[in-house]
Amino acid sequence: MSLLEIRSLSVAYGGHRPAVRSADLDVDAKQTLAIVGESGSGKTTVANAIMGLLPADVSISGRIALPGAELTGLAKGAWRSVRGRRIGYVPQDPMLSFNEVLSIGAHFKETIAAHRLAPRGNWRALASERLLEVGLAEPDRVLRQYPHQLSGGMRQRALIALAVLARPELIIADEPSSALDVIVQKHVLDLLGELTSHLGSSLILITHDLGLVADRSDRVAVMHLGEIVEVGPTAEVISRPTHPYTRELLAAVPKLSSFRERETLAELDGNGAALAVAGLVKDFKLKQARASTQSGAASGSSGRRRLLRAVDHVDLSIRKGQRGECVALVGESGSGKSTVAKLILGLERPTEGAIRLGGEAARAGGRGGRRRRAAGIQVVFQDPYASLDPQFTVARTLAEPLVIHRRGGRAERRARIRELIGLVGLPEAILDRYPGELSGGQRQRVALARALALEPDVLLLDEAVSALDVIVQAQILETLRELRRRLGLSMLFITHDLAVVSEIADRVAVIKEGRIVEIGPVAEVFEGPGHPYTRELLDAVPGQSHF
């Protein structure tokens, strides 16, 4: 029996080419439908059309219906009986989805009141019940906290609890795990599956991750350039795709077994380490208030301090060569990966230990030390839009490090900029554009080109492909392989995605609670993990048995 019917849905923004064209979809009762495609394919537009969240200037035609309710053209006031009550919504980014100045409890109170789900003044009992249901064991404490005081996984669980407050018939989850590491992702998706099964709800899972699609959905709709190009049972579409775009998506999925088939790029020359980290320790001082005095006065800012050890005696090296070594550092959120990166880059000072670039001690202080570090190591961050100045053209972005470090005259810089843009596979015509005029993949290529401007020995990539669609991700990984072939770069690749590690790295170091618990060649670690945590990470990678 069909719960949701979509017929001939077309959506256009502000008179532009339709973002969605003539889409037909059915979601049956108690069914999970995945909508998959790259950024700009129309997935989120379909979700927003179902939820009635499209902007006012949008042009929409076609039919969207739940049993007894036509949603297309529904009056604004009538949406209250549908949105939140019959359809629950789990958005992509839990930090941006909460109002950061309101407590978690205030969000629940507002939603419960809007839908009259509990008598006035009794909202807390219902909120606590839902938080317990999603695995948040101390609901009273969670309700008092603010979004920034929760971990990413806890925030996502709280959003799911909000989405199921009214026991909706349909839940739409838009990239619900894209910002989460692999273990937390598994827990969140397990929770969604258990809740929809328990409630008898249907689920629309919007994602670009075909591993999740393979593991978590009954049916899949593939979208490309606003059109649904293929739809059917998930197992059938994955095993026997009929559309070229579906086959392209499937071919681009990173696989845990890739290390068995890919070319080994490292050609080490015995000249030592491009980067060596020894005994690295980082302690952070946390303020801890003293107990109240007998008179009841709090001690305030005079509290004692305790230490949090974020990095605990880390040893790590990346070797030089004609094609330098790529070492991956993997672990879940909070494991210490990014703190290690900040210490190597000089953005934090180590409590103990040594960092050597090209055999020389890396110094954080002084103009000369900063210049030596910049020449030795450069970084590519996760979000290329956030790391590029929106007011700089691509040409100015690439010129900036050359100007700051006084590399060449004006003519030499122009030539170097043209060389850099060619290295990352972009046309020279892009030099006059701004970041907002580029796709996500183009922006990340620009970020790569900027990192290469000073000819570093080591490239540090901090979750550099995790925000990209699977096809763009595959293109960036191939660009990185080509850069290793041509430039002999050594790389430190920080990620939580073990399938990507299999595609790019020679060795892998697994970090947990600030300590490296396992390190070795990718083949050895993946085929015979020696630590239970490594096995847990490997087991959490979605969909690998299907590819």
Mean pLDDT computed over 309-338: 89
Q: What is the pTM of this model?
A: 0.83
pLDDT class for 295, splitting at 50, 70, 90? very low
What pLDDT was estimated at residue 225? Answer: 92
Q: pLDDT for 66-85, tens place per residue?
A: 999 999 888 888 998 899 99
pLDDT number for residue 324: 82
User: What's the mean pLDDT when you consider all of the chain?
Assistant: 88
Q: Enter the tokens of residue 225.
A: 């350039």
Per-residue pLDDT averaged across 479-502, rounded?
90
Let me know: does 534 contact 518? Beta carbons within 8 Å. Answer: yes
The answer on pLDDT for 545 being more than 50 is yes
The more confident residue out of 16 and 310 is 310
Average pLDDT over residues 189-211: 91
Span 24-33, average pLDDT: 96
Distances (CA, A) of 420 to 427, 447, 535: 10, 11, 40
Beta bridge partners of 59: 12
Q: 291 falls in which pLDDT band (50, 70, 90)?
A: very low
* Mean pLDDT along residues 481-510: 91
Structure confidence by residue, pLDDT tens digits, 533-544: 999 999 988 877
**Which pLDDT band holds residue 266 (cuts at 50, 70, 90)?**
low
Res 128: pLDDT: 95
Q: Which of 457, 509, 503 is nearest to 480 (CA)?
A: 503
C-alpha–C-alpha distance, residues 119 and 109, integer Å:
11
User: What pLDDT does residue 300 have?
Assistant: 42
Distance separating alpha carbons of residues 500 and 523, to the nearest angstrom? 13
CB-count exposure of residue 2 (10 Å: 0-12, 13-18, 19+): middle
The interaxial angle of helices 394-404 and 440-452, nearest 10 deg, is 20
Which residues are paired to 307 by β-bridges?
285
Residue 299 has pLDDT above 60, yes or no: no
Supply the pLDDT for residue 179. Answer: 65
- Residues 460-490 have pLDDT tens digits of 999 888 878 888 889 899 999 888 888 888 9
pLDDT band per the 50, 70, 90 thresholds, residue 188: confident
Q: Would you state the pLDDT for residue 364? A: 46
How confident is the model over 224-235, as a mean pLDDT? Answer: 96
Tally of CA atoms within 13 A in the half-sphere of 285 that contains its CB: 6
Question: What are the structural domains, with CATH classification, of the chain?
Answer: 2-252 (3.40.50.300), 259-285+304-546 (3.40.50.300)
Q: Is it the case that residue 268 has pLDDT exceeding 50?
A: yes
In this predicted structure, what is the pLDDT of residue 267? 67
For residue 303, what pLDDT band results from cuts at 50, 70 and 90? low
pLDDT value for 294: 40
pLDDT at 359 exceeding the cut of 80: no
Q: Predicted confidence band at 368 (pLDDT cuts at 50, 70, 90)?
A: low
**Which helix (H) or strand (E) is 357 found in, with range?**
strand 352-357
pLDDT band at 422, cuts 50/70/90? very high
Q: What is the pLDDT of residue 269?
A: 61
Q: Which of 207, 464, 513, 211 is nearest to 333 (CA)?
A: 513
Query: Which CA distances in Å does 19 have to 60, 217, 252, 332?
Result: 10, 24, 24, 36
Contact present, 501 and 522 (Cβ < 8 Å): yes
User: Can you give the pLDDT at residue 492?
Assistant: 96
Q: For residue 293, name the pLDDT band (cuts at 50, 70, 90).
A: very low
The answer on pLDDT for 346 being more than 50 is yes
> Which helix or strand (DSSP H or E) is residue 262 part of?
none
Sheet holding 267-288, edge to edge: 304-323, 267-288, 352-357, 360-361
CB-based contacts of 162, cutoff 8 Å, min separation 6: 88, 107, 108, 111, 130
| 46-60 pLDDT, tens digit each | 999 999 999 888 999
